[in-house]
Amino acid sequence: MSLDRPKAPEIEDLGRMPFDPVHAQMLEICESIRLGYSDGKILLVEHEPVFTAGRATPQAELSEKILPIERGGQITYHGPGQLVVYPILRLPIRDVRAWLRRLESFGVAICANFGLTALPSQDGTGVFVANKKVASIGVAIRHWINIHGIAINIDMDLTPFQEIRPCGLAPDIMSNLSSQAGRSISMAAAKAAVPEALTSLLA
């Protein structure tokens, strides 16, 4: 069943911020959409270092340093050099799997902007370049409104991934766009690629 499509959602660049206040803002926007006060917003952020755990995380992998949250998926790391895109929007159609595929297509489009050939995962949870994971996806859906989104590794220190099993995978599978492109890609350049890539998400 089709829903109203988002109307030219605003993109807000939050810069570099801790996770908690951004999480609170996501929930506020979601509630505003539910009440009919907002068509939604797309948040761009570079988080301060944090480990978060989705609903599918095995209990044995949780610890005091890992923040449990409501998104799907398992443990991941957010930190400087990673662009996190949170599309807080009504789903274009009531199909969560199709929405995950759109998020993957968005990630693939970002990679293509920098000359990288990327492939979506088989389970709707990420984007790969040359068999290395460069983007992770995890969402929660409330009243057919999306919260959370996609984290794209642009030019970041990958060492913290060694402390976890990112999305249930071996940590050595993680990479970033700069490494795969063989050149430094700036956060500003990555953010500039977002508006065009959003056609893959919202079309």
Q: Is 167 a catalytic residue?
A: yes
CA distance 178 to 6: 32
**Beta partners for 2?**
93
CA distance 170 to 120: 18
CA distances from 108 to 52, 119, 143 (A): 23, 7, 27
Buried b (16+ CB within 10 A) or exposed e, 24-40: ebbeebbebbeeeebbb
Annotated catalytic residue, options 108, 110, 167, 197: 167
Q: Is the CB of residue 152 less than 8 Å from the CB of residue 190? A: yes
Count of alpha carbons within 13 Å of 86, Cβ hemisphere only? 25
Residues 6+ apart with CB under 8 A from 198: 42, 106
Supply the residues annotated as catalytic: 167
